[in-house]
Amino acid sequence: QKEVEQNSGPLSVPEGAIASLNCTYSDRGSQSFFWYRQYSGKSPELIMSIYSNGDKEDGRFTAQLNKASQYVSLLIRDSQPSDSATYLCAVKEGSQGNLIFGKGTKLSVKP
């Protein structure tokens, strides 16, 4: 059973701080990793994808991948109240497979 694990939170950070979200996965052969943001009552929105070990930056977001440790993380710098949402980690099965999601981490950014 391939699994993706996330701390469900809630994770609470003050406005302007760095939020760190973590995810581990069980399938060592996984090659594609994604972070989705989901506001309450809305559908998931893709914010980052990462395929190679190391860091990938996009604006205030940085995704980090360590395949040896089977670990993916998302850093949000200068957190804003509008970042308050549930963040879903997803791992793709094979090159054409489906996405396996974690249960999500709820982030709350306090003004």
Name the residues that contact other proteins, by CB under 8 A. Answer: 4, 32, 34, 36, 42-46, 49, 88, 90, 93, 95-104
Work out how close the CB of 83 gets to other proteins at its nearest, in angstroms, rounded to a whole number.
19
Q: Check if the beta carbon of residue 103 is closer than 8 Å to that of residue 7.
A: no
Closer by beta carbon to other proteins, 31 or else 78: 31
Work out how close the CB of 111 gets to other proteins at its nearest, in angstroms, rounded to a whole number.
25
Strands 105-110 and 11-14: parallel
Query: What is the biggest distance separating any 2 CA atoms in the chain, rounded to whole angstroms?
Result: 42
Amino acid at 95: S
Closer by beta carbon to other proteins, 15 or else 55: 55
Closer by beta carbon to other proteins, 32 or else 70: 32
Work out how close the CB of 43 gets to other proteins at its nearest, in angstroms, rounded to a whole number.
4
Work out how close the CB of 60 gets to other proteins at its nearest, in angstroms, rounded to a whole number.
19
Closer by beta carbon to other proteins, 5 or else 75: 5
How many other CB atoms sit within 10 Å of the CB of residue 4? Answer: 22
Strands (E), 1-111: 4-6, 11-14, 19-25, 33-38, 45-50, 54-58, 61-66, 71-76, 85-92, 99-101, 105-110
